[in-house]
């Protein structure tokens, strides 16, 4: 039976859905239930990873260290994972202290064309003996051959796998297959896929990735995550089983973990709002939806217009400041009465 390694960023990507306000109790509760379900890797942190608590992408309620400690205490068989983006997190301030707290798995991410920013961080985590993966964000924005080059960079830095992240939920199954297959054919390391649900295709894209040779898949409980949400993990686990893949996760206990998430974490199960759908179509980072809606209200402009404009400008994760700039421009156009 083919094996799939599941990595669960409910307590990381999911943090976006509560504007980085996950509490110690929530972290502890979910970590314990994921551990009980046999989820191999539980990823914890601010939505944008280690060291990302900021005015740019949201101040988190908890400090990185506190979240990691709360999770660590509740993970016995599951591994504790972190995610970080160089440019937000540094080795000295963020990564080293996190590793000292007993993190097992490190994912170092960059925009899909900027893998060489991850060299030092991947190297450091590897030298500390940790399981290290590279992540390419907004992977819909690059062709297969570019993705391959960037993955090879991460491979040379010591990553033992690379995960394509569909941050905008913009991909279609055939695109996923093509890209994953190209990587699987040419890399010596594992390939993974992290889908988002803006076009309602997260599970389908994940299955397409698995069938193209990906061996790592991400999913969150109830799809808990920014905007339209992530691949719902309980659904993914069940569907993978139907396709004949072995995740090592107990289905009933995973459903229980989803219940815990529903009760304690999720204010509402992710819904594909029109803003989320539009951001998927525009190819814009999912987590933009929340600040876009807020700024749109403040400036009295249509959030969908902001999103399409962000997509047109190819805004990447971390550039939330552009939202204000665009809203400002749209508001001025509106007040000038130009129907554009």
Partner 1 sequence: MTQPVSKLKVAILGSGNIGTDLLLKTLRSAYLDCTLFIGRNFNSPGIAKASGMGIRISDRSIDAIINDPSGCDLVFDCTSAADAKRHWPILQQLGKIVVDLTPAKIGKMCIPAVNLHDCLGSQNLNMITCGGQASIPLTHQIGIIHPNAQYMEIVSSIASRSAGPATRLNIDEYVETTEGAIQSFSGCRKAKAILILNPATPCIDMQTTIFAKIDNPDMEKLTVAVNDAVAKVQKYVPGYHLILPPTREGGRVVIMVKVQGRGDYLPAFAGNLDIINCAAIAAAEAFAQSPRKMKQHR
Partner 2 sequence: MKNSAHQIIEQDCEQVLTGSVEQLGGMRGETLLITGGTGFVGTWITELIAHLNDHYQFGTRVKLLSSQESNSRFMAPHLGVRKDVEFIRQDVRTIADLPVDVTLLIHAAASPDTRLHASDPLRTIRVITQGTDAALAAAARLPRLKRTMNVSSALIYGAQSWEVNAMSETYSGGLLDCSSMLSSYAEAKRVGETLVAAYRNEHRLPIVNIRPFAFIGPYQRLDRPWAINNFMRDGLLGGPIRILGDGETVRSYMYASDMAFWFLRILLDGVAGRSFNVGSPVGIRLKDLAEQIGGCFPVPIPVECRGLIDGKGKRSKMIPDVGVAETLLGLSIKVDLETAIQRTLLWNQKQSGKNE
Task: Note the residues at the interface with partner 2 (CB under 8 A).
Answer: 1-3, 116, 119, 123, 127-129, 131, 148-149, 152-153, 156-158, 160-161, 184, 187-190, 213, 215
117 binds partner 1 (CB under 8 A): yes
When CB distances are held under 5 to 8 angstroms depending on the partner's kind, the choice from partner 2, partner 1, none that residue 193 binds is none
Q: Least Å distance between CB 152 and partner 2?
A: 6
Q: How far is CA 185 from the centre of its chain?
A: 24
Considering only CA atoms, which of 180, 123, 186 is closest in space to residue 154? 123
Distance (Å) of CA 135 to CA 40, 57, 128, 151: 18, 19, 19, 9
How far is the CA of 70 from the CAs of 20, 24, 66, 130, 319, in angstroms?
16, 6, 6, 20, 30
Encoded tokens for 82: 């972190």
Q: How far apart are CB 33 and partner 1 at their closest, in Å?
A: 33
Q: Does 113 engage in binding with partner 1 (CB under 8 A)?
A: yes
For partner 1, which is the closer residue by CB, 67 or 323?
Answer: 323
Q: How many CB atoms lie within 10 A of CB 102?
A: 13
Smallest gap from Cβ 179 to partner 2, in A, equals 16
Q: Which of 1, 3, 77, 92 binds partner 1 (CB under 8 A)?
A: 92
Per-position DSSP letters for 63-103, written without gaps between them: -HHHHHHHHHHH-SSSEEEEEE-BTTB-IIIIIHHHHHTT-
16 is catalytic: yes
Per the CB < 8 A criterion, the answer to whether 138 and 319 are in contact is no
Residue number, 54 or 211, with CB nearest to partner 1: 54
Beta strands per DSSP E along the chain? 2-3, 5-11, 41-44, 79-84, 105-111, 131-137, 161-165, 190-194, 216-218, 245-246
Binding mask 35-64 for partner 1 (x = CB under 8 A): -------------------xxx--------
Q: How far is the CB of 117 from partner 2 (least distance, A)?
A: 10
Binding to partner 1, residues 139-168 (CB under 8 A): 141
| Token pair for 78 | 């599951």
d(CA 279, CA 5): 29
Instruction: Work out whether 116 is an interface residue with partner 1 (CB under 8 A).
Output: yes
Q: Does 294 bind partner 1 (CB under 8 A)?
A: yes
| Residue choice 319, 331, 333, 334 for contact with partner 1 (CB under 8 A) | 319
Catalytic residues: 16
Binding site for partner 1 (CB under 8 A): 54-56, 86-88, 90-93, 111, 113-114, 116-117, 119-120, 141, 294-295, 298, 313-316, 318-319, 321, 324-325, 328
């Amino acid at each position: 039976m083919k094996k799939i390694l599941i990595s669960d960023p409910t307590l990381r990507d999911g943090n976006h859905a509560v504007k980085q306000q996950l509490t110690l109790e929530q972290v502890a509760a979910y970590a314990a239930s994921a551990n009980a379900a046999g989820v191999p890797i539980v990823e914890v942190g601010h939505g944008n990873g280690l060291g990302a608590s900021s005015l740019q992408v949201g101040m988190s309620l908890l400090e990185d260290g506190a979240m990691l400690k709360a999770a660590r205490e509740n993970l016995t068989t599951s591994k504790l994972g972190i995610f970080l983006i160089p440019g937000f997190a540094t080795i000295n301030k963020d990564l080293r202290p996190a590793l000292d707290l007993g993190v097992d798995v490190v994912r170092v991410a960059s925009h899909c064309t900027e893998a060489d920013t991850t060299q030092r961080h991947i190297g450091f985590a590897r030298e500390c003996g940790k399981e290290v993966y590279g992540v390419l964000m907004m992977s819909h924005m690059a062709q297969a051959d570019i993705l391959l080059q960037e993955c090879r960079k991460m491979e040379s830095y010591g990553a033992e796998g690379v995960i394509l992240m569909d941050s905008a939920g913009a991909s279609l199954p055939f695109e996923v297959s093509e890209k994953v297959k190209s990587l699987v054919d040419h890399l010596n390391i594992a390939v993974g896929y992290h889908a988002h649900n803006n076009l309602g295709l997260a599970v389908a894209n994940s299955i397409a990735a698995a069938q193209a040779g990906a061996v790592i898949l991400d999913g969150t409980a109830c799809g808990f995550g920014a905007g339209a949400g992530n691949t719902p993990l309980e659904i993914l686990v069940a569907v993978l089983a139907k396709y004949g893949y072995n995740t090592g996760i107990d289905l009933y206990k995973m459903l229980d973990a989803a219940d815990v998430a529903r009760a304690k974490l999720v204010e509402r199960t992710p819904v594909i709002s029109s803003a989320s759908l539009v951001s998927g179509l525009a190819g814009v980072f999912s987590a933009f939806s929340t600040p876009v809606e807020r700024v749109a209200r403040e400036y009295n402009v249509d959030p969908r217009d902001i999103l399409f404009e962000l997509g047109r400008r190819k805004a990447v994760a971390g550039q939330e400041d552009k939202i204000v700039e665009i809203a400002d421009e749209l508001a001025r156009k509106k007040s000038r009465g130009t129907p554009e």
